[in-house]
Structure 1
Amino acid sequence: MTKRIVILGGGTGGTLAANRLRRALGAECEITVVDRDDDHVYQPGLLFVPFGLAHADDLVRSRRRQLHDGVAYRDSGVLHVDVEADQVHLDDGGVLAYDVLIIATGARLVPEETDGLTGPGWMSKVFSFYDLAGATALARALRDFDGGRLVVNVVDLPIKCPVAPLEFCFLADWYFQERGIRDHVRLTYVTPLDAAFTKPFAARALAGMLQEKGIELVTEFNTGEVDGEAGKLISYDEREVEFDLAVVVPVHGGAECVERSQGLGDALGFVSADEHTLQSKVRENIFVIGDAAAIPTSKAGSVTHFEGEVLTRNVARFLAGEELDASFDGHTNCFIESGFGKALLIDFNYGTEPLPGHYPSAVGLPLLKESRLNHLGKLMFAWLYWHSLLPGRDLPGVSAAMPLAGKRLEAR
């Protein structure tokens, strides 16, 4: 009997999971991907739009055209999931029954959760680059900005691509130097963390870069209100940071359909899962991939790619009644644009923080070190995203498990 796999979300995780499963299982399964529109956005490219280094139109492609033949696409929002009946109820009135459900609904921006953020000044003095509309509007604002204090603020964690706000600071430093007005711009990075980043070794390196570039670092700032009219961030403990232009990374939450599904999500709308198998803690026939998962790793595209290998094996094993593969180790790597045509690379997992050395082996890209090669690697990733990652292909020499080869372990 043909098994039915329903995948909620046609973004990175949903697309690569569908394509990997189609290749692995063939006609044994009926695979359906569900999403509310046909616009697949290459989210890493949003960082470059405000600086004129990428164009919004080049970042969007058809969701259904990224899926292999034999994978069905349903263009509809999801009303809710009935986890007891193994059914997905759609906004268009349809109902999809499943044998396996994969949650790949990502994370959504919830700016309305912060007092004043979407009030006076929103999209004129206060922006976010985490969606196409915001990144495009911010590009216009930066072109018109001729001096003053530019504040980059992370309201709360978790967020998609945790290094992106730091990258924005570094690219802004470069951008204003290229325009010849850097001396007239005060750059400030405001974070709720007690350091520049979550991982101590990398945090020290990144804090040093901020200092070298003359970017002020404000830590342990928990934004409670954004007063766009007065140009102030106000923390819960009543500290204030003034700005002339604010770039805010809003609170993130899980998908609304997860929140509407009784028993499916946690308090933030993400789905709890085993951090090694990616099987949900809700029901055995529900798996989670990408930003939708409540597991202790970064919400980054590389994580989704590495998860895809393990998830595909585990869906196949679940359907065959076999023991699941508990090998996902939280592997994450991120290119960090540092400006002037250079970038850093960090690579880590649940148990090992970013270390110096090379990736993926002793002969490879330098880790925790600015280089032109890393910058080119980040640019090349866009091609790999569309032609290798989304189609569900393995990258030669790059596996789901974090490699230790090439890393300077004595630096721990």
Structure 2
Amino acid sequence: MHRITIVGSGFGALTAVNTLRESGLSADLTVVSPKAEFVYLPALIWVPSGLRTGDDLRINLKQFFKRTGVTHLAAEATGLTDGGRTLQTSAGPVANEGLIIASGGRFIKKLPGIEHAITPCEGIASAERIRDRVRAMEGGTIAMGFAGNPNEPSSMRGGPVFEFLFGMDQQLRKEGRRERFKLVFFTPAPNPGNRLGPKAVGSLLKEMARLGIETHLGHKLKGFTDRTVTTEGGTFDADLIIFMPGMTGNTWFDNTDLPRSPGGLLQADAQCRVPGFERVYVAGDAGSFPGPDWMPKQAHMADLQARAAARNLAAECMGREPRETYKVELLCIVDTNDRGMLVARNEKYNFVLPSMRLFHWMKRFFEWWYLRQYR
């Protein structure tokens, strides 16, 4: 019986659990995370409008772990020793014969005054803060933007900001309050959404213009106050700032000898292995993977990488060569609370389908379909 440890309880971690159980490998699985809980982050965009509540998105994993024969350790990873064979945690050391790190990334909070901005994808509490702030506002300027990791431009998550932005416009219109608010979108990128493809960039900017959303593009960010956003291109007022910084690795990576990318993530090869460490794999936002510069940091990609990592780890444990690789694919619906634009990209094609109600309902159906396995 092989002892395998998985760090995290997000998309990649849970996909790794399912994949290992499907592989036929006889293994004791231990999942290490602060809570036996999964938060469906893609639906945070619907919290400000009331389409979803925190309880809708917070899934108790106790029954799932029971069904899959997983031992959950309520703890935080703090380091790694013995060449990867001992995970150090806040609840003590955990020995393993195989390790999958799917603990997500960490937002870079170095900009002066960043405490005045809300980072929406940090979790349910952040989305609820946006909801409560907007409800209390009689009018004003709401500024939304994102930035990347200067040492690793691909380590960013800008897509949800578009959804919060368009969703806020639709929400305010539905409430009959849109004329009292100015919406401003800002980012250092001159072509925001470029990873979605050239057609998507044009479609997004055209839609912003149609809706009367102002843009402040291509200027490096300098900082925030409680009422302003400052860039190298100037300062503008904002009564509410919603900002997604670039991402880097977890702080506990500093207490390991694992190889790091220039942006602070765990280095991975095409099989999701961490080079130089036997039977240590990484999946999702925690890792830096070979691939095109548009490879996304999104749940779908984390699932694809976790599936490859788990299959390769199972193969190693059963004495086979790990040959599984992941497909590089961007698949998303840019939702606006009642409509959505479908964007798909891989190494063979890139297409954008215009916003329509069907795609909004597809996104909601996928949420139900995906979560039913964990409820």
What TM-score do you get using the length of structure 1 for normalisation?
0.82
Question: Residue 281 of structure 2 aligns with which residue?
Answer: 287
Shift of 1:8: 0.8
Q: Confirm whether residue 278 of structure 1 aligns to residue 272 of structure 2.
A: yes
In 2, Cα distance between the equivalents of 1:159 and 1:127? Answer: 19
Structure 1 residues 137, 303: closer, same or farther in 2, change over 3 A?
same
CA deviation map 1:203-257 (0-9, x unaligned): 12212211221212222232221111xx21122x363232122111234322222
Question: Residue 406 of structure 1 aligns with which residue?
Answer: none
In 1, Cα distance between the equivalents of 2:81 and 2:234? Answer: 45
Query: Is the 2:29–2:71 contact (alpha carbons within 8 Å) kept by the matching residues of 1?
Result: yes
In 1, Cα distance between the equivalents of 2:350 and 2:217? Answer: 21
CA deviation map 1:141-181 (0-9, x unaligned): 11122222211021334566431101111111111111222
Which shifted more, 53-62 or 66-75? 66-75
Question: Residue 144 of structure 1 aligns with which residue?
Answer: 136
Q: Confirm whether residue 372 of structure 1 aligns to residue 357 of structure 2.
A: yes
Q: Confirm whether residue 387 of structure 1 aligns to residue 348 of structure 2.
A: no
SS in 1 for 2:45: helix
Give the counterpart letter for 2:85 in structure 1: D
Structure 1 residues 70, 242: closer, same or farther in 2, change over 3 A?
same
Question: Residue 261 of structure 2 aligns with which residue?
Answer: 266
Structure 1 residues 210, 378: closer, same or farther in 2, change over 3 A?
same
Query: Is the 1:22–1:70 contact (alpha carbons within 8 Å) kept by the matching residues of 2?
Result: no
Give the counterpart letter for 1:375 in structure 2: H
CA deviation map 1:305-334 (0-9, x unaligned): 223332232122222333333442212211
Structure 1 residues 375, 298: closer, same or farther in 2, change over 3 A?
same
Q: Confirm whether residue 354 of structure 1 aligns to residue 350 of structure 2.
A: yes
Question: Residue 202 of structure 1 aligns with which residue?
Answer: 200
In structure 1, list runs of 5 or more residues that go unmatched. 357-367, 392-412
In 1, Cα distance between the equivalents of 2:161 and 2:340? Answer: 14
In 2, Cα distance between the equivalents of 1:29 and 1:225? Answer: 49
Question: Residue 129 of structure 1 aligns with which residue?
Answer: 120
Query: Is the 1:201–1:353 contact (alpha carbons within 8 Å) kept by the matching residues of 2?
Result: no
SS in 1 for 2:277: coil
Question: Residue 98 of structure 2 aligns with which residue?
Answer: 100
In 1, Cα distance between the equivalents of 2:356 and 2:185? Answer: 23
Query: Is the 2:147–2:158 contact (alpha carbons within 8 Å) kept by the matching residues of 1?
Result: no
In 2, Cα distance between the equivalents of 1:313 and 1:69? Answer: 17
SS in 2 for 1:202: helix
In 2, Cα distance between the equivalents of 1:63 and 1:45? Answer: 18
Q: Confirm whether residue 167 of structure 1 aligns to residue 158 of structure 2.
A: no
Question: Residue 20 of structure 1 aligns with which residue?
Answer: 19
In 2, Cα distance between the equivalents of 1:74 and 1:246? Answer: 36
Residue correspondences, number: 363
CA deviation map 1:37-70 (0-9, x unaligned): 2332111121111121111122112234333332
In 1, Cα distance between the equivalents of 2:198 and 2:284? Answer: 24
Q: Confirm whether residue 224 of structure 1 aligns to residue 222 of structure 2.
A: yes
Give the counterpart letter for 1:245 in structure 2: L
Shift of 1:4: 1.7
Shift of 1:353: 5.7
Structure 1 residues 259, 354: closer, same or farther in 2, change over 3 A?
farther
In 1, Cα distance between the equivalents of 2:234 and 2:257? Answer: 39
Shift of 1:267: 4.8
Question: Residue 341 of structure 2 aligns with which residue?
Answer: 344
In 1, Cα distance between the equivalents of 2:19 and 2:315? Answer: 14
In 2, Cα distance between the equivalents of 1:219 and 1:83? Answer: 47
Structure 1 residues 14, 377: closer, same or farther in 2, change over 3 A?
same
Shift of 1:29: 1.6
SS in 2 for 1:46: helix
Question: Residue 4 of structure 1 aligns with which residue?
Answer: 3
Give the counterpart letter for 2:135 in structure 1: R
Give the counterpart letter for 2:238 in structure 1: F
Written as runs of structure 1 = structure 2, the 5 A alignment for 1:57-72 is 57-67=55-65, 68-72=67-71
Query: Is the 1:202–1:354 contact (alpha carbons within 8 Å) kept by the matching residues of 2?
Result: no
What TM-score do you get using the length of structure 2 for normalisation?
0.89
Give the share of equivalent positions with the same residue, in percent. 23
In 1, Cα distance between the equivalents of 2:63 and 2:93? Answer: 23
Q: Confirm whether residue 114 of structure 1 aligns to residue 105 of structure 2.
A: no
CA deviation map 1:247-303 (0-9, x unaligned): 1123432222223223344354421112x3212224241111111121252111111
Q: Confirm whether residue 331 of structure 1 aligns to residue 323 of structure 2.
A: no
Query: Is the 1:280–1:286 contact (alpha carbons within 8 Å) kept by the matching residues of 2?
Result: yes
In 2, Cα distance between the equivalents of 1:335 and 1:384? Answer: 16
In 2, Cα distance between the equivalents of 1:287 and 1:65? Answer: 26
In 2, Cα distance between the equivalents of 1:284 and 1:373? Answer: 46
Query: Is the 2:77–2:88 contact (alpha carbons within 8 Å) kept by the matching residues of 1?
Result: yes
In 2, Cα distance between the equivalents of 1:233 and 1:353? Answer: 37
SS in 2 for 1:355: strand
Q: Which runs of 4+ in 1 moved over 4 A?
A: 157-161
Give the counterpart letter for 1:30 in structure 2: D
Larger relative contact order, structure 1 or 2 (CA cutoff 8 Å, min sep 6) = 2
Give the counterpart letter for 2:86 in structure 1: Q
In 2, Cα distance between the equivalents of 1:104 and 1:15? Answer: 9
In 2, Cα distance between the equivalents of 1:159 and 1:213? Answer: 29
Structure 1 residues 217, 32: closer, same or farther in 2, change over 3 A?
same
Shift of 1:85: 5.4
Query: Is the 1:196–1:204 contact (alpha carbons within 8 Å) kept by the matching residues of 2?
Result: no
Structure 1 residues 65, 255: closer, same or farther in 2, change over 3 A?
farther
